[in-house]
A and B are shown apart, each in its own frame.
Chain A
Amino acid sequence: MKKRKSMNHKDRTFLLMILPIVAIFFLFNTLPLIRGAVYSFTNYKGYGSYDWVGIRNYIDLFTDIRVGKSYLFTFKYAVSGMILVNVISIMLALALTAKIRIKSTLRGIYFLPNILGGLIVGYIFSFIFTYIIPSIGTALNIGWMQNSILASERYAWIGVLIVGVWQAVAMNTIIYISGLQTIPAEIYEAGMIDGAGAWKTFSSLTLPMLMPFVSINLVVSTKNMLMVFDQIVSLTKGGPAQSTESISYLIYRNGMGGGQFGFQSANAVIFFIVIVAISLCQMWMTNKREEQL
């Protein structure tokens, strides 16, 4: 017991290093979160006076069609996005770790979308979807290409998804590349001796060894996809016919712009719980599958 009480010099240094970070995190992250949670029990507009309304906002949340639709859209978007991002970035990572020429240059190019700002990318794609693709469609006489995908109530979300995935793939690819480099060459040799084909090598050797990175990527990409915001602002502003209103866009739009600060705070609290639950669930599921050497 005595040992634990006395802190040695090194521990104290570490503690001193970590304390300011904890303080800053608390000040700029935890405190606003708590304040937001408090406001969720009021009808606060963002200024002026307000009344306590109990759990009315939470009851309203579950009966609000618009909020319901935004959850549906966000989950549809996040699930498809997560699958696409991970499949594409594993394939890209495999290609970019293979022994090919100008590998570093290619890696650089594939990382580019991550450096560009979400809004800029969105506006460029908005132009492509609105003018370039329809004019190609008209020139080649392809029916479905003649109208902007962003103007279609049913397919606009795919347009947003394309941009979101295009941007998200970059970061995940880098994580997978670093993951692939941790796999020792010996196990591939062993696989070769056992006569494993390309698919067998991938499914029985690469993928299980890559599992820790898959779990990181699943959590990161799901979280990012659930928080979709920039793409919505720059591509559709939630339209057409409110079909692409994501949860965070709705929270921002009506909480900040409209007078629903209290109500959207309640929405944010629920959304926070949902994201935490999903992340925990994913970690638990992928943890079980990780292979240790």
Chain B
Amino acid sequence: MKYKLWQKCTAAAGVLTLLCMQGCTGGPAENEKIQVELVQYKPEAVAAFEEIEHRFNEEHQNIELTISSPNEAATVLKTRFIRGDYPDIIGIGGDMDYANFLDAEMFMDISDWEGLDAIKPVYREMDKALELIPKDGVYAVPYAANCSGILYNKEMFTEHGWEIPKTWSEFIALCEQIQSEGIQPLYAGYKDTWTCYGPWNALAVGLADPDVCEDVSAGKTTFSAEYAETAEKMKLLLQYTEPNPYAYGYNDACTAFARGQSAMYVIGSFAIAQILSANPEMNIGAFTFPANEDESDNILTSGIDLQFSVMKDCENKAAVYAVLDFLNRDDIIQIYLDNQIAVSCKNSGMEIHQQLSEMKPYLDSERVSDFHDHHYPSEMSVDAMIQTYLIDTAENSAEKFLKSFDENWIRYNRDLIRRMNERKEGAEQ
């Protein structure tokens, strides 16, 4: 029996409609779960979050958690915010994006969530320090931290008998030593300007006051005074990197380090995964950047790489808190840590990855301080300014750079400084 085309089409359409209707009517009746949506900004951790999502939904009958990990999440989120479309929880870094979102009053105060006590105070303080205008309450749950310092090729170090430097002069002596043996001490990927922040943050944390940005905004000091030594040492490092580091980007530098083209690489712990993907066999170690002449002055750069905030418009506080409770269970955190070689922000003595073991004493005693660039407005492009300064061969380049740092800071933070002054005047009256 032959059907005509239109008959077939009608039949197909009918079947489809039926299927749809079944889907629609069958859906809500049995599925009265509370929906919680989480958007997090690390697409490289998508595998970990898929597992977390799966396990959560298995354990919870009445809540359905959806986690998405888009590329360029900050931009995705901003576009959604413009439309007034908010997820329930967002996972972002403890940086200027967080500060700006918070300043725009987008987050819920979660000080009544019980899990907060288990979070290391040092990371909670870091979040407090990010508030442009100090606020009451708690708006973020620090989840995972990263550390920045010097990654080194362990095999190379044992083979040549090099020792981990503890002071700046030891570090310079080591670089000279490595160079004299015909090996490149450092590799830099300054074509990607943000990698300039690797050594910059490590130096600034060791040499400058942690509140420098706030103090400059308040007119108490200048970057010219506070960052002079950081800038000088930053430039000294160029003697030990490959020639013309502005030709190579982050990926180039990771690959070069992985292939043993340099003994060390000044970058954050987040690069370890990337380096291992280029050379899975590599034995990588990491130590705190010795920025000072006295070992006890050295501080580890460590900041919040991932934290969760609840959006203000969120309707099901109980369900969202259940999600936060689940995320902060040790076994769940471990899924993420194993995937990302990160450090937990929780106070429960979780293991630290062997690559970061030399940083453990600093982490345990909380001798850590946040990345300085977490306080720079991104549109000011401090990373590009640092690159410009490094390329500049003029004698007064440091002076020029610091002067433009001060001038630009005032320019880009004008509205904030005005509000800070208004607030101060308000307090005085």
Please determine whether B81 and A47 come into contact, CB atoms closer than 8 angstroms. yes
Asked whether, in the complex, the Cβ of A242 is within 8 Å of the Cβ of B191, the reply is: no
Is the CB of B105 closer than 8 A to any CB of chain A? yes
In the bound complex, residues from chain B placing their C-beta under 8 Å from that of A241 are 384, 387-388, 391-392
Known: A257-B378, A259-B379. A151 touches B244 (CB 8 A): yes
Beyond A237-B193, A241-B391, whether A45 also contacts B378 by CB under 8 A is no
B75 touches A258 (CB 8 A): no
- Whether B101 pairs with A47 at a CB distance below 8 angstroms is yes
Q: Is A282 an interface residue (CB 8 A)?
A: no
Select the residue from A51, A134, A239, A254 with max chain B CB neighbours within 10 A.
A239
Question: What CA separation (Å) do A172 and B248 show in the bound complex?
Answer: 34
Interface string of A182-198 (1 = CB under 8 A from B): 00000000000000000
B330-375: which residues lie under 8 A (CB-CB) from chain A? none
Q: Is B270 an interface residue (CB 8 A)?
A: no
Contact A49 B244 (CB under 8 A): no
Contact at A258–B377, with CB atoms within 8 Å?
Answer: yes
- List B contacts of A134 (CB < 8 A): 247
Residue A260 at the chain B interface, CB threshold 8 Å? yes
Once the chains bind, are B248 and A45 in contact (CB under 8 Å)? Answer: no
The reply to whether A150 and B247 contact each other, CB–CB distance below 8 Å, is: yes
Q: What chain B residues lie within 8 Å of A259 (beta carbons)?
A: 100, 377-379
At the interface, yes or no: A46 with Cβ under 8 Å from chain B? yes
B395 touches A (CB below 8 Å): no
Please, which residues of chain B bring their CB within 8 A of the CB of A147? 243-244, 247
Chain A residues with CB below 8 A from B104, complex form: 45, 47-49
In the complex, what's the smallest C-beta–C-beta distance from A110 to chain B, in angstroms?
A: 30
Whether the pair A237, B192 counts as a contact (CB closer than 8 A) is: yes
The tally of residues in B whose CB lies under 8 Å from a CB in A reads: 32
Q: Is A240 an interface residue (CB 8 A)?
A: yes
B246 part of interface (Cβ distance < 8 Å): yes
C-beta contact mask, A226-245 vs B, less than 8 Å → 1, else 0? Answer: 00000000001111111000
B238 to chain A: closest CB distance in Å? 13
Considering only residues 202-261 of chain A, those with a C-beta below 8 Å from chain B are 236-242, 253-254, 256-260
Is B381 a contact partner of A46 (Cβ separation < 8 A)? no
Known contacts: A153-B391, A241-B388. The answer to whether A258 contacts B78 by CB under 8 A is no
Closest chain B residue, CB of each to CB of A260: B379
Contact of A46 among B82, B243, B244, B380 (CB under 8 A): B82
B384 in contact with A45 (CB, 8 Å): no
Residues of B within 8 A of A46 (CB): 78, 81-82
Q: Which residue of A is nearest B390, CB measured?
A: A241
Q: With both chains docked as a complex, state the minimum distance between the C-beta of A44 and any C-beta of chain B, in angstroms.
A: 10
Interface of B toward A, CB cutoff 8 Å: 74-75, 78, 81-82, 100-101, 103-106, 191-193, 243-244, 246-248, 252, 377-381, 384-385, 387-388, 391-392, 415
- 9 A-B residue pairings within 8 Å (CB atoms): A47-B78, A48-B104, A147-B244, A148-B247, A239-B191, A240-B191, A242-B388, A254-B381, A257-B379
| Chain A residues in the interface with B (C-beta under 8 A) | 43, 45-49, 51, 130, 134, 147-148, 150-151, 153, 236-242, 253-254, 256-260
Q: A48-B105, A240-B191 are in contact. List 19 more A-B contacts (CB 8 A).
A: A45-B104, A47-B81, A47-B106, A48-B100, A48-B103, A48-B106, A51-B415, A130-B191, A130-B247, A134-B247, A151-B244, A151-B247, A240-B387, A241-B384, A241-B391, A254-B379, A256-B78, A259-B100, A259-B379
Name the 6 nearest CB pairs between A and B, nearest first. A48-B104, A258-B379, A151-B247, A148-B247, A241-B388, A151-B246
